[in-house]
Chains A and B, each alone.
Chain A
């Protein structure tokens, strides 16, 4: 192909505003990518990274508009072209891989049609086009037979759908390809394969890639250059290694510091704990005839943090909900402080319910939007502990434990940010002074910078003697917070032990793959 480092994409002073408010969504952004290279565009939600990604194809969502800037793709300035000219270039000069292929593939059209039309090259015969489609399918490791081409999107798995999306982008051999968080929702192993495919394709095709992500670790793994976006602007930009090792902008530093690093060594051995607070043995659970969990043995000692690690579908949420009395279809021994727990929370004693509290994954859904923070906290307290003598005191104390000022008591959930909401959820849980806190993926809906704050908060609670059952899919997080870890795979415990053991010397093949596939980077200056 052409000169390896010639610039395929060059953006100068690009500004996009929203209508009718005229607020700048991205302001004065300049980036450039050479052929065969990948630019990692990192930013948290609301930073404008997706808007930027779409504007690279000269596409604006409704009520947004490019107001200034130059946008040169493979020698064409898209801002100069009319609609038809832009259309000609799309797919062939610049292509797009969406965040969620499930919704980006047309449910009513067969794969063959959707792939072939992406070529839209009049010079190709039907047979040639067909051959090209098959070729690119092989390249992304998908079947290229007719039966596959006749399928509809909903007949594919998530990973396959993403590969189809990648194939669709590459089929026209574009000069530039924009990838918008293409691995969200995929498990680490699939994610790894997809990333490898992307890497290989950009290299083979000499395509310039723009990889948009919130995940610093993934970007560190993949990108040649990194641009950090914050509130619509690029605050830092440079060679990947340089940015990672010597971040200049405070935001970049904060971002890097917040990324949990996979610690594979340096864990203390917690030793034999006291008599376990919660002991689960031989638990099996399911929905109707479907078995989800089998043979689960886990225990949590007072003041201990036990992590339950598993990917989506592993049954970890079913397990945590069974323990909380929210999922009733389970059998097996579940002893809490020596007493068997009933399957339903309603048949447990008030004391049991008080001592086991649950924090939910999504803070946007876990708070009743019609109640003030104060009532969110007092509700369970009144029900489980009784009418408080000093209600304000109870609320203030709970908020303090969650590191929120007492003045938040009068707010409604919609007046809180995501992190604050999660803190209120924690405050609600700890208000009743529980002994065991079950945390179900409580950080996954939050931006990384907020994640780390929540994790710190939990550590503090643990230090005060609270036991934690920390359910997550994030192995890096586990390596940082837990004392012991149980790894769930397909409804069974693949392996369990102390964090030190598992991280440094995993025995089970699955655990090993998990550790190996998790993207990671060496932050020379991170944590500073």
Chain B
């Protein structure tokens, strides 16, 4: 078990490294001279050359990569081109904002989704189940930014005018509602469906039937026999959805003008701010990989059968 986890961790680290390579290579391929970009129309040959030195742009690419990687490992993500601030420092707040946003979305979505899923399973093929199944199917279909816009059209200033549609620094707590709602709606459907499917699978399993045949009460059947077997797969899906959030948050932050990593990434792309692009992509991919890894480990830990079946 612990060996298996170690193997996963190793592969996770390997993947992260591969991602770092891809990100670096990709940003190297960006057209234009970084120094020229930073200086923009203020560029004079002397200033450009000085900056090139400063950014070690004259070094071979491999050296640049190693320097960059070394920095990344030590938490030094370089200096932003556009604001000449250390990237790590600059990213701290957006990262916290994004994590808070994701955290709220997870906190709102998960319990409701678990409840709806479990209740659907218990009410299988009844009207609640049908409604929930159709509802999740429909919501899951729509791209999340479309969900966001629909919410804005409906609840935002143009519609019922209940909540603000853009984030502003001095805005109140109500400006969190639409982004959190959008992300929650994006995250919840797969959890609902997985919860329902797993609960049904477990409730239909022979061991639950056997528990019933032993004369166990419904409550015991549900909590002692069914629930522990449903936790594993559901926890995995929850973790996978959280991982998805890492990437999915970009469009939502862009839509709501929310000052998180996704917004930083979009701005950085707009400004061709290479260190910032590198750092935010690496960060998002990193969160994605790590949470996926956690999902993996949960899957391993929760299910003794998986433990045996996985080589």
Q: In the complex the two chains form, is B229's CB within 8 Å of A59's CB?
A: no
Interface flags for B198-221 (1: CB within 8 Å of A; 0: not) read: 000000111111111111110010
Q: Is the CB of A103 within 8 A of B213?
A: no
In whole angstroms, how far apart are the Cα atoms of A117 and B228 in the complex?
Answer: 16
Cross-chain contact B229 with A107 (CB below 8 angstroms):
yes
A513 within 8 Å of B by Cβ?
no
Which listed residue (B204, B210, B303) contacts A96, Cβ 8 A?
B210
Find out whether the CB atom of A59 lies under 8 angstroms from the CB atom of B212.
yes
> B210, B214, B225: which contacts A120 (Cβ < 8 A)?
B214
Q: Which of B209, B213, B229 has the most CB of A within 10 A?
A: B213
**A118 touches B (CB below 8 Å):** yes
A-B contact pairs, 15 of them (CB 8 A): A59-B212, A87-B215, A87-B217, A95-B214, A96-B210, A98-B210, A103-B206, A105-B210, A106-B225, A106-B229, A107-B303, A117-B216, A117-B224, A152-B304, A154-B304
B124 to chain A, nearest CB (A): 8
Please tell me if A449 contacts chain B, counting CB pairs below 8 Å.
no
Q: Which residues of chain A have a CB within 8 Å of any CB of chain B?
A: 54, 57, 59, 62, 87-92, 95-96, 98, 100, 103-109, 113, 117-118, 120, 152, 154, 168
Least distance between B232 CB and chain A CB atoms (Å): 9
- Also in contact, A105 and B207, with CB within 8 A (given A117-B220, A152-B304, A154-B308): yes
Does B305 belong to the interface (CB within 8 Å)? yes
Q: Which 10 A-B pairs have the closest CB atoms?
A: A90-B215, A108-B228, A91-B215, A106-B207, A96-B213, A104-B210, A104-B206, A103-B206, A91-B214, A118-B214
Supposing A109-B228, A152-B304, A154-B308 touch, asked if A104 and B207 sit within 8 A by C-beta, the answer is yes
With A108-B228, A109-B224, A117-B220: A103-B207 Cβ-Cβ less than 8 Å: yes
Which residues on the B side are within 8 Å of A88 (C-beta)?
215
Inside 8 A of B207's CB, which chain A residues have their CB? 103-107
Q: Taking beta carbons and an 8 Å cutoff, which residues of B are in contact with A? A: 204-217, 220, 224-225, 228-229, 303-305, 308
Contact of B213 among A57, A62, A120 (CB under 8 A): A57
Query: Which of B205, B210, B215, B228 is the one whose CB lies under 8 Å from A89?
Result: B215
Bound Cα distance A100, B217 (Å): 23
Task: Give B21 Cβ to nearest chain A Cβ, in Å.
Answer: 34
- Expressed in whole angstroms, the Cα–Cα distance for A61 and B214 within the complex equals 15
Structural contact, B224 and A59, CB atoms closer than 8 A: no
4 additional contacts, CB 8 Å, given A59-B209, A106-B225? A62-B204, A90-B213, A90-B215, A96-B210
Give the complex CA separation of A98 and B205 in angstroms. 12
User: Which residues of chain A are within 8 angstroms of B215 by Cβ–Cβ distance?
Assistant: 87-92, 118, 120
Question: Which of A96, A106, A120, A152: most chain B CB closer than 10 A?
Answer: A106
Which of A88, A118, A168 is the most central at the interface, judged by chain B CB atoms within 10 Å of its CB?
A118
Shortest beta-carbon distance from A228 to chain B in Å: 25
**Of A95, A106, A154, which is within 8 A of B211 by CB?**
A106
Closest chain-A Cβ to B233's Cβ sits at a distance in Å of 12
| B230 smallest CB distance to A (angstroms) | 10
A59 contacts B205, CB within 8 Å?
Answer: no
A117/B214 in contact, CB under 8 A: yes
Q: Please name the residue on chain A nearest to B204 by beta carbon.
A: A62
Rounded to whole angstroms, the CA-CA distance of A90 and B216 in the bound complex is: 8
| Closest CB in chain A relative to B17 CB, distance in Å | 30
Q: Which residue of A lies closest to B225 (CB)?
A: A106
Whole-angstrom distance between the alpha carbons of A123 and B228 in the complex? 28
> What's the nearest-Cβ distance from chain A to residue B139, in Å?
28
Q: A95 vs B211: C-alpha distance in the bound complex, in angstroms?
A: 11
A154 cross-chain contacts in B, Cβ below 8 A: 304-305, 308
Report B28 CB to chain A, min CB distance, Å.
Answer: 44
Q: Please indicate which of the listed interface residues A104, A108, A117 has the most CB atoms of chain B within 10 Å of its own CB.
A: A108
Closest CB-CB distance, B213 to chain A, in whole Å? 4
A168 touches B214 (CB 8 A): yes
